[in-house]
């Protein structure tokens, strides 16, 4: 049985205080600028504790003109597979004027990916939420949650790009192993370290399939510039 590590009460207050300080700094010192992206979906991939959510928050603090989607906010791990959500996806695509054949192919790719063996949590909600957000917004920056990897089967991202008119950039957040272990420790996730490092190794073996690989220590300006360079 997997052990859970509780967060000390004092540490919770420190994190809350840090968030309040960051908001105050944003309000006084940080001047937001436009991200300079158009018709683009950027997906931040990486394992738990790699820094995806931190980077998303930093980008949100500094750049306007984007819709930011934090997949963990969906709490997809608490939700069972929902076959009806595929009809929701079809309706969204119909309302957007997408050709029926393309719409059906995209929905089929969502369903087929969800049927892969060993899937810990149903990806239906995350994949449909990504579709919904891309159809409704010009520029989307999202964490991967339980979205497929870029080298996944069934063509989800190719079909998503066709149906939403978006260029899609896959960014892997990949600190070196020693740094990643530090991040695991700092997030009180040592009980899951073995499984996290196994997934980390798998992503690193497939790093060539991502459009951009960063450590997470780069400045936001440099990271955004690198993301822009991946857009085709």
- The three-state secondary structure class of 86 is helix
Within 10 angstroms of residue 131's Cβ, the number of other Cβ atoms is: 23
pLDDT at 17: 61
Please name each of the domains of the chain with its CATH number: 35-230 (3.40.50.300)
Residue 217 DSSP one-character state: -
Mean pLDDT of the chain: 86
| C-alpha of 42 from chain center | 8
pLDDT tens profile 34-89 = 888 999 999 999 999 999 999 999 999 999 999 999 998 888 777 676 778 899 99
Q: In sequence order, which residues have a C-beta less than 8 Å from that of residue 124 and are 6 or more positions away?
A: 81, 82, 85, 86, 110, 111, 114
Quote the strand ranges of the chain, DSSP E: 33-34, 40-45, 63-64, 67-69, 139-143, 167-173, 212-214
Q: What is the dihedral of CA 132, 135, 227, 77, to 10 degrees?
A: 10
pLDDT tens profile 96-145 = 999 999 999 999 999 999 888 877 788 888 999 999 999 999 999 999 98
């Amino acid at each position: 049985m997997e052990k859970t590590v509780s967060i000390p009460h004092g540490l919770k207050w420190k994190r809350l205080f840090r968030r309040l300080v960051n908001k105050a700094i944003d309000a006084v010192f940080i001047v937001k600028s436009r991200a300079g992206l158009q018709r683009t979906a950027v997906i931040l991939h990486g394992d738990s504790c790699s820094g995806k959510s931190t980077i998303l928050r930093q980008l949100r603090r500094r750049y306007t003109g984007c819709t930011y989607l934090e997949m963990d906010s969906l709490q997809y791990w608490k939700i069972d597979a929902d076959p009806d959500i595929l009809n929701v996806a079809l309706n969204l695509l119909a309302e957007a004027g997408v050709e029926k054949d393309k719409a059906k192919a995209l929905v089929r790719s969502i369903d087929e990916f969800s049927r892969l063996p060993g899937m810990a949590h149903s990806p239906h909600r995350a994949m449909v939420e990504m579709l919904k957000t891309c159809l409704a917004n010009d520029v989307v920056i999202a964490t991967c949650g339980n979205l497929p990897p870029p080298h996944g089967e069934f063509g989800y991202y190719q079909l998503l790009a066709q149906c939403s008119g978006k260029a899609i950039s896959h960014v892997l957040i990949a600190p070196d192993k020693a740094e990643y272990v530090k991040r695991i420790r700092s997030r009180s996730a040592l009980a899951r370290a073995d499984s996290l490092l196994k997934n980390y190794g798998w992503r690193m073996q497939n790093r060539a399939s991502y459009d951009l690989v960063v450590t997470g220590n780069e400045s936001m300006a440099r990271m955004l510039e690198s993301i822009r360079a991946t857009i085709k």
